[in-house]
Amino acid sequence: MILIADGGSTKVDWILLNNTKEELFRINSLGLNPAVLKESELQKRVKNISQLTQIKEKVKNIYFYGAGCGTQNTIDILSKVLQSNFTNAKITISEDMLAAVYACTPQKPAIVCILGTGSNSCYYDGHNANKLAQSLGYTIMDEASGNYFGKILLRDFYYKKMPKIIAKSFEKEFNLNVDFVKTNLYKEPNPNMYLASFAKFMFQHKKEEYINKLIKKGFRKYFKYQILPYNKGPKTSIYFIGSIAYYFRDILEKIALKNNLIIKDIIKRPIDNLVKFHQNYNP
């Protein structure tokens, strides 16, 4: 059996294929980002996926594409966790950026972008994915991601920079008790996921001038740091993966046009296309 996983910080999509690469089932679980979570938490989360524990001895190959899997250290941590649970499996772990490439354009050159809980980009030349810089994660990078916008919303609310009507709705939607917020930011697992949870508020209020300007500013910053430096010109295909890109597609496309660029496609979740890639993949 073959287990394929697209792992974000918020959740992981899992699909199990049989030996003839037919899909048996698909499930999702809590995120498994080894750059954010301790090994003990990763172990706990994997062991709690009951559907997988029932077939763990039958799995022969695992292809895990994950957020936070961009360095050998984090790959080793997650590999150790998965190997201890799937003892008969050969485990291949790659960064989520590669899953995005396979989901969008497995053979043709393109700029491939991620805009979800976190953000990233690469230029795929048809053979290799080349990034502008190694991602340092949600604290100082991740432009225009869910956690990026969550930080701005929280800061504006507490600094009283958020319009009063918006702030009132924001306070009704979330628990903004200072101790509760600080606990989630500094003591609970996945602070990036917590920050990204505020992004849904933007979609509900995206027609408000304050929210609209916030989104546009974030997207302009993303293009400045994550797309324009590739300097590939208007004929280069651009693909986006992730919920932020998907739900704010109209604004994103306008920012692209202002930069003389056209977005070829926006995919909310790459897992379906990723499975097709592996069904045609012969290692």
> What sign does the dihedral 129-130-132-134 (CA atoms) show?
positive
Q: Which CATH class is domain 2-99+271-279?
A: alpha beta
Check residue 283 and give its pLDDT.
52
Q: What is the pLDDT of residues 161-209, one digit of tens each?
A: 999 999 999 999 999 999 999 999 999 988 999 999 999 999 999 999 9
Assign 106 a pLDDT band (cuts: 50, 70, 90). Answer: low
- Greater model confidence, 70 or 218: 218
Distance CA 181, CA 90 (A): 40
Per-residue pLDDT at 282 exceeds 70: no
Cα distances from 236 to residues 200, 245, 260, in angstroms, run: 31, 18, 11
- Mean pLDDT for 201-221 is 96
Q: What percent of the chain has pLDDT over 70?
A: 99
**In whole angstroms, what is the distance from residue 150 CA to residue 173 CA?**
13
* Average confidence score pLDDT of the chain: 92
Strand order in the sheet with 11-17: 23-30, 11-17, 2-7, 61-66, 90-95
Give the range among 114-118, 135-139, 155-159, 204-208 with minimum mean pLDDT. Answer: 135-139
Q: What is the pLDDT of residue 159?
A: 97
> What digits encode the pLDDT tens for the residues 7-30?
888 889 999 999 899 999 999 999
Tell me if residue 1 falls in helix, strand or coil.
Answer: coil
pLDDT tier at 111, thresholds 50, 70, 90: very high
Grade residue 122 by pLDDT with cuts at 50, 70 and 90. very high
What whole-number distance in Å separates Cα of residue 170 and Cα of residue 192? 19
The larger pLDDT score, comparing residue 174 to residue 104, is at 174
Per-domain boundaries in the chain: 2-99+271-279
Per-residue pLDDT tens over the stretch 228-266: 999 988 888 999 999 999 999 999 999 999 999 989 999
pLDDT at residue 126, rounded to an integer: 85
Question: With 90 as the cut, is the pLDDT of residue 107 above it?
Answer: no
pLDDT for the residue 270: 83
Q: Is 181 in a helix, a strand, or coil?
A: helix
Question: What pLDDT is recorded for position 8?
Answer: 82
DSSP 101-165: HHHH-SSS-EEEEEESSSEEEEEE-SS-EE-SS----TTT--TTSHHHHHHHHHHHHHTT-S-HH
pLDDT value, residue 275: 87
